[in-house]
Chains A and B, each alone.
Chain A
Amino acid sequence: MSDLQTPAGAPGAASDDAPSTATAAANASSAAAGGGGRSFLPKTTLLRHLLVLALCAVGAVLLLEGTERSTNDQISRIAFYAIAAGGLTLLTGLNGQISLGHGALMAVGAYTTALLLDVEDGEPLPLAVIFLIAVAITAVVGALVGVAAARLHGPYLAGATLALAVGVPGLTLYFSDTLGGEQGINVRAPRAPDWFVDAIEAISGERGQGTKWLAYIAVVSLLITYFLLANLMRSRIGRTWRAVRDQEVAAELAGISLGSWRVLAFVVSAAAAGLAGAVLAIVVRLTAPGSFLPVLSLSLLTAIVIGGLGSLFGALLGSILLVFLPEWARDFGLEVLDMESAQASQAAFVIYGLLLVATMLFAPAGLVGTVRLALLRRRAARAAARADGG
């Protein structure tokens, strides 16, 4: 019998009513979603998500046009981290399966994209088609991994997926004729279409090529992914995943096949990782094994844990941290501590690691989960006070 996610109160929990598991944010978010109560939002989940999507799209355009090209580039990087982290948070937060191999799955998406764009003569396929193929192939690989993973839990799963993260970069060296070996494959993203260049010209008067075009591709991919994931997580499927995570026996008795639901979670999560890899390939303009070291997988885990397991918003916050923290840490090390730059850039990892440990010890629900829990608790207290008063 697995002791996965035993809800027993562990030492270190803030109080009795706060779930001590790392996936508390997922619980909290589902509670919030079920709670409703805000009348100005549309009633159905789908409509509400569409509204949020539209608002985010407008916000994204304002953000991209209101900032420098170097910031555009950072936003692209946040986008591909966030896409992968969104998929991972679904797997780990909702379904309780840890994966240290998502960096390897991103590599699958990235190499697929690079190979499909690298055609000798003629035009490559349209970018959207290439992205879909990358997603599909990564999903298939994810299914294979998922079949093995469905039978493992906790440390076994962590070890096996870590082996995946360590093993896959080696394949790119072994098949160096196709995959370019150590130096990888150069990626030339297709140029922006004229309508896009004209539109950007009209909005901000800037050049819509290169970095800017790539940033739009990245942000659109992110918005679509999060829209789909958010709907999935609020649907029956999402609820079943939670049941598989929290109530194994009950779920099995209810006729839910644990194994196939776990594999499904892995497939969805891998698909997101594949898209993230595809976006990484065009944004970084290169796919090389150096981009997919185990540290990438660990960074993704850091992002979702700090943001709050099971929360897409948390995954996004964590991804923002992944892009900005190394820069801050490096500048701090360079300017304040007078270090060499390569050394200073390591400071970020110390902070990641300590944040991971601290989150688990003091706020296992992460940033989003902890805030949500505090809000819920206050609302409950107010409701109780009202009940007393009445």
Chain B
Amino acid sequence: MSVLAAATIATTMAACGGDDDSGGGGGGGGGTAEDNEATDPGMTEDSVLIGAHYPLTGPAAPGYSEIPTGVQAYFDFVNANGGVYDRQIEWEYLDDGYNPTNTGQVVNQLVLEDEIFAMMGGLGTPTHNAALDLLNSEGVPDLFVASGSSLWDNPEENPYTFGWQTDYESEGKIIGQYIAENLPDAKVGLFLQDDDFGEDGERGVRQYLDDEQIVEVQTYTSGNTDLGAQITALQQSGADFVIGFNTPIYTALSQLTALRLNYTPEWFVSNVGSDPQLVGSLLERFSSGAVTGTSLLEGVYTTDYLPTVDEVDNPWVQLFQRVWDESGQEGELTNFRIYGMSQAYTMVQALQAAGRNPTRDDLVAALEEAGGDFQGPALAPFRYSSDRHAGISGMSVSRIGANGSAEELTPVLVTDVGDAEIEEYDGEETTPPESGIPDEEAIG
């Protein structure tokens, strides 16, 4: 890795956060390891500490607990190639069990005790919501929240928080439009997680489907595994097409409950809950082998904003496969690990753009200034700017085929929250750099 930007060495970084100079305009770009300085907590001469919270146990753990191992693999890969500005990226993640109360405590520990430089990829809408105030009042960059809630795109109130994945409202709009155009006769039932995740999705869907077409709305709370009442209600309403904004475990549970009720609607499961490998293995486990593999999922509609593990010819997937194999961790490459590596890739881009000796505020400034142009594995560009902190702007609709492979039904569609139009994305497909490591120029 080579950084060839002109050398202006930053020397004016304040040690305590919050009040760095505006004139310096961020860290210097070039220089050597000798020029490295400790800036804010977590950023030392030779390391930078990044933290996050994930559900490693509990009902949301299956699948999601693989994400940080993907992040680890990619950071290891970067570290083995010299790190970022000769700093090793240290990665510390803690378990919150998908319980917002735990998240508050865990993030407290990361920020106050372990002193992370930035948070990256904190997972979950209700959970991360509990950490928002602490991170923003302490001035800790809160990058790439692993959730598509619109909460993360509010730079005025939460200047340190950035979204990453396509937001649920945009996803709902794309799903709604697809059904309105291609399945106008479907009687639609909604199956929603009882929080912003479900609400944002519903808001998007309702922009394209009217109240007559949506015949029933049912919600569940995470942790309650008895879906008998909800699925019965969907069945009784006559819904023959169910859209689910739910986590993977609830895809499996709703499928199994429907099976017990002899209820066979078509399903559209939003990106979050649709991973075929994971849901397939959950189904197999929950039914003790009575349901095998992805058979129940064949024909289920879903959406994508990242390449998936079954696309073996995709250069990004090939890169991630190589990174995963080199990391020597247990298990196979999965879509969740691809997700983690993709986030880690964006993180490395952000650290590069922030310059050699960035403060926390410099990192945020770099992302606002350069983040909108980052090229990575995502199918559509980020929406980062000084007044937007929203992530990937679009996705494509696909349908799960035999063996969990996906069949693309639409090109990549880009849109935004509110009444923004849905348009076909006209950009080119990106390919990873030769080295597998991004090479962003430092801003300023």
Contact = CB atoms under 8 A, between A and B. Distances in A.
A and B touch in the complex (CB under 8 A): yes
A183 B58 contact: no
B134 A181 contact: no
A69 interface: yes
A321 B301 CA distance: 52
Contacts of B194: 173, 176, 181-182
A64 to B, nearest CB: 14
Given A183-B125, A210-B138, A73 B133 contact: no
A342 B130 contact: no
Interface string A53-82: 000000000000000111001000000000
B221 interface: yes
B360 to A, nearest CB: 15
B129 interface: yes
A213 to B, nearest CB: 10
Contacts of A184: 100, 126, 130
A207 B126 CA distance: 30
Interface in B30-87: 56-58
A147 interface: no
B57 A183 contact: no
B132 interface: yes
A296 B232 CA distance: 35
A187 interface: yes
Interface string A153-193: 00000000000000000000100100001111011100000
B90 interface: no
B385 interface: no
A70 B101 contact: no
B301 to A, nearest CB: 27
Contacts of B221: 173, 181-182
B155 to A, nearest CB: 17
B97 interface: yes
B129 A186 contact: yes
B137 interface: yes
Contacts of A209: 137
B133 A285 contact: yes
A181 B104 contact: no
Interface stretch (A19-27, A217-225, A286-294): A286-294
A235 interface: no
A341 interface: yes
A257 B432 CA distance: 81
B137 A181 contact: no
B97 A286 contact: no
Given A173-B194, A342-B57, A183 B100 contact: yes
A211 interface: yes
B108 interface: yes
Interface in B76-133: 94-95, 97, 99-102, 104-105, 108-109, 112-113, 125-127, 129-130, 132-133
Contacts of A290: 99-102
Q: Is the interface of B mostly helix, strand, loop or mixed?
A: helix
A255 B136 CA distance: 59
A288 B127 CA distance: 10
B56 A210 contact: no
B56 to A, nearest CB: 7
A69 B195 CA distance: 33
B126 A183 contact: yes
Contact of A285 (B56, B104, B109, B113): B104
A335 interface: no
A210 B138 CA distance: 7
A249 interface: no
B95 A70 contact: no
A286 B101 contact: yes
B221 to A, nearest CB: 5
A69 to B, nearest CB: 5
B129 A188 contact: no
A294 to B, nearest CB: 14
A184 B112 CA distance: 23
A210 B17 CA distance: 13
B368 interface: no
A183 B113 contact: no
B102 A69 contact: no
A183 B137 contact: no
Contacts of A340: 56-57, 95
Given A182-B221, A183-B125, A288-B126, A211 B100 contact: no
A116 interface: no
B112 A341 contact: no
A4 B414 CA distance: 70
A341 B68 CA distance: 15
Contacts of B133: 186-188, 285-286
7 contacts: A68-B112, A70-B109, A181-B195, A285-B133, A286-B133, A290-B102, A341-B94
Given A183-B195, A188-B133, 9 more contacts: A183-B130, A186-B132, A284-B101, A288-B130, A290-B102, A291-B101, A342-B57, A342-B95, A342-B97
Interface of A: 68-70, 73, 173, 176, 181-184, 186-188, 207, 209-211, 284-286, 288, 290-291, 340-343
Which 8 pairs from chain A and chain B are nearest by CB? A183-B126, A342-B57, A70-B112, A290-B101, A291-B101, A286-B130, A70-B113, A288-B100
